[in-house]
């Protein structure tokens, strides 16, 4: 039975571990991950972060890549609430912006629902030009 009052939030970030193109993202992932450890009452108990590093080979990656994305390209970020996809993007510049803002939201102890609303707003109002897949291994 799903608890509609306090859904379980999962932030999934997909990046390659040993990749020069993904390197710029790692510090922001670390910052957001560490900030997710800030005690925010019950919200902190219903917030999880999954950081995935898929295989380099596209054929192998296809079997392991999380659902909810248009392609199997890296990097990728997805926020879910009780298995409902709140947002999913593979735009490296938007992922960077979301991680920076997410760190601030977590450090300032926003609730999960407030984080959801703000992340959706950031993605909806995003004016950055899509740069395509940053990781050369994605191609």
Decide if pLDDT at 6 tops 60. yes
Q: Which is more confidently placed, 6 or 28?
A: 28
* CB neighbour list of residue 85: distance below 8 Å, 6 or more residues apart: 68, 78, 79
Per-residue pLDDT of 23-59, as tens digits, reads 788 899 999 999 999 999 999 999 999 999 999 888 9
**Whole-structure pTM value:** 0.88
Q: Where are the domains of the chain?
A: 9-138
Decide if pLDDT at 131 tops 60. no
Per-residue pLDDT of 65-95, as tens digits, reads 999 999 999 999 999 999 999 999 999 999 9
Q: 20-45: buried (b, 16+ CB within 10 Å) or exposed (e) per residue? A: ebbeebeebbebbbebbeeebeebee
CATH architecture of the domain with range 9-138? 3-Layer(aba) Sandwich (3.40)
């Amino acid at each position: 039975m799903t608890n509609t009052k306090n859904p379980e939030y999962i932030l999934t970030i997909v990046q390659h571990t040993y990749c020069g193109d993904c390197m710029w993202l790692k510090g922001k992932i670390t910052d957001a991950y560490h900030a997710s450890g800030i005690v925010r009452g019950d919200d902190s108990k219903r917030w999880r972060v999954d950081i995935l590093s898929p295989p380099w080979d596209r054929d192998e990656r296809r079997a392991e890549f999380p659902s909810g994305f248009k392609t199997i390209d890296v990097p990728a970020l997805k926020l879910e609430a009780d298995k409902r996809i709140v947002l999913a993007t593979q735009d490296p510049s938007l992922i960077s912006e979301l991680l920076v803002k997410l760190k601030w939201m977590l450090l300032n102890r926003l609730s999960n629902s407030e984080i959801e609303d703000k992340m959706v707003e950031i993605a909806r109002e995003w004016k950055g030009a899509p740069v395509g897949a940053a990781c050369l291994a994605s191609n």
